[in-house]
Structure formats: structure tokens, C-alpha cells
Amino acid sequence: MEDVQHVELELCADGTHTLFVPALEEHYHSTRGAVQESLYVYIERGLQHCAENPCTVLEVGFGTGLNALLSAIYAIEHNRNVHFVSYEKFPLAPEIATQLNYADFVETQYAPLLAKIHRAAWNEVIEITPQFTLHKIHSDLTLLPPLIPCNLIYYDAFAPGKQPEMWSEKLLSHVCSALQANGFLVTYCAQGQVRRTLKSFGLHIERLPGPPGKWEMLRATKIMDI
Ligand SMILES: C[S@@+](CC[C@H](N)C(=O)[O-])C[C@H]1O[C@@H](n2cnc3c(N)ncnc32)[C@H](O)[C@@H]1O
């Protein structure tokens, strides 16, 4: 990926920030609304749907930290214990991360969390709140690093058309192999090839209505062996 570390801050239709990557002609989130999309796909169809407590979440692409922030808030508000492990090949420069306006869109008491999440050291387990521990891993997932078992995967890579290597059968299989029984993956991406690949691993596929601006999203569950 050429110059993929060069990102530009943009406002979505709902006033929340996203980032644009000129080298890929791709945004980090739906330009309809970053917070709206993350809440819908990853919190409502993901964390809220997960019965496990404690719950280990594995995220593909830490990026702006928005999914981590919303997951931390969900954990606090619902008294859930969440261990959040997030992989990122290109951590954002602090001067970009500190400009992100997500703190303005959460309740005042949660506003300091985003800065804390960004300040958290890479490659260390850090307690953000008593309910939420964060392990940001600076690593290239296409190198198939060893993964810890998890209950839930947030598959939030750039779209298959922009970064096909993030949706290869090899990488999807590697990431899904970390799922424990009854664990599941959620993604904004509902592309047929991705769906068929996940199905070929024996996962149960649900095509769910997508967030505003997207027709569908996917949830793929590892059904427990009887
Ligand atoms: C669609 S963005 C979403 C990021 C994040 N979840 C968010 O809400 O901001 C995809 C992310 O995947 C990261 N990424 C790209 N290639 C990667 C790789 N090989 N390994 C790990 N992360 C990668 C990008 O740098 C980017 O942060």
C-alpha cells in the first residue's frame, strides 16, 4: 500500500469525524456517520449480542479507536467485563488522533476515555476502566500473528475492493480460528465472496440489515459442537 499512512480528517454527515486515505480512495467509516455506523454494526449487532461475560473482543484495524471507545462505554454502562485486543499496522500520528471529535458525541463523563485509549501503550495490556482492558497490538495481520482465543471479532478492515489482502481466505481463516465456541464475527461488509468464504469455514451466516446507507451487514457464528 503506497502512502497509506497519509490520512485526511473529514466530517461525516452526522458531524462525527472520519479519516480519508487518498492512496486507497477510501474512508475509515461510512461518510453518513462514523459513530452511527460503529454503534450499529459493532455494538448493537456485536457486543450487545454477545452473552459471554467476561468477553474477549478481537478487532481487525484499531484506526481511530472509535470501536474501542464505544465498547468501553458499553462495558461500563452494562457492567460487562471486556478485554479488547486490537491489531493495527499503521497507528495514527498523535496529531491526528487528538483532533478526532468523538468525545463531543458521548456523555460528558466518558469524554476523557478516547484520549486514554489513544495514550495507552502499544503491545501492553492496559486497564482503561475496571470493566475494560485494552491490548493494542502494533502488527501486520497479513503476517498471521498468533491470536488469543476470543468471543467476538470486529472485522473492520478497508473494503475488499481496496485492500483485498485483508479479506483473503488465509487471513479470514486465521482470524476466525481464534473464535471460541459460540463466538461470532461482525462486519459492515456483506460482499458475496466474503460471505461464501466465511460459510466454507462452517460458520453460520446471518445477513442483517445494514446501518444507514448500507443494505446489509454480516454476522458469522461458530456454532458450538454438540
Ligand atoms: C476501515 S479502517 C477502521 C479502523 C477502526 N476500526 C476505526 O473505527 O477507526 C481499517 C484499519 O485497518 C488498518 N490496517 C490496514 N492494513 C492492516 C494490516 N495489514 N494489519 C492490521 N491493520 C491493518 C488500517 O490502518 C485502518 O486503521
How far is 218 from 213, CA to CA, in rounded Å?
A: 15
Give me ligand 1 centre to Cα 226, in Å.
35
What is the mean pLDDT of each successive set of 10 residues along the chain, which is 226 residues long? 83 96 96 96 98 97 98 98 98 97 97 98 98 98 98 98 98 98 97 98 97 94 78
**Pocket lining: 20 vs ligand 1, CB cutoff 6 Å:** no
pTM > 0.85: yes
Determine which helix (DSSP H) or strand (DSSP E) holds 75, and give its type and residue range: helix 66-77
**Pocket lining: 46 vs ligand 1, CB cutoff 6 Å:** no
Best probe residue, ligand 1, of 57, 88, 144 (max atoms within 8 Å of C-beta): 88
- 33-221: CATH, from 3.20.10.10, 2.60.120.620, 3.40.50.150, 1.20.1250.20: 3.40.50.150
Helix-helix angle 112-119:66-77, to 10 degrees = 120
**Pocket lining: 74 vs ligand 1, CB cutoff 6 Å:** no
Kindly report whether the peptide bond that precedes residue 54 is cis, defined as omega within 30 degrees of 0.
yes
pLDDT of residue 4: 77
pLDDT of residue 96: 97
**Pocket lining: 84 vs ligand 1, CB cutoff 6 Å:** no
Question: To 10 degrees, the CA torsion angle through 64, 118, 86, 33?
Answer: -20
Q: Domains of the chain: which residue ranges? A: 33-221
Query: Of ligand 1's atoms, which has the minimum distance to the CA of residue 27?
Result: 1
Burial of 201 (0-12, 13-18, 19+ CB in 10 A): middle
pLDDT of residue 224: 73
The residue whose CA is least distant from atom 15 of ligand 1 is: 89
Q: For the chain, give percent helix, strand, coil, nearest 5.
A: 30, 30, 40
pLDDT of residue 225: 57
pLDDT of residue 5: 85
Determine which helix (DSSP H) or strand (DSSP E) holds 150, and give its type and residue range: strand 150-155
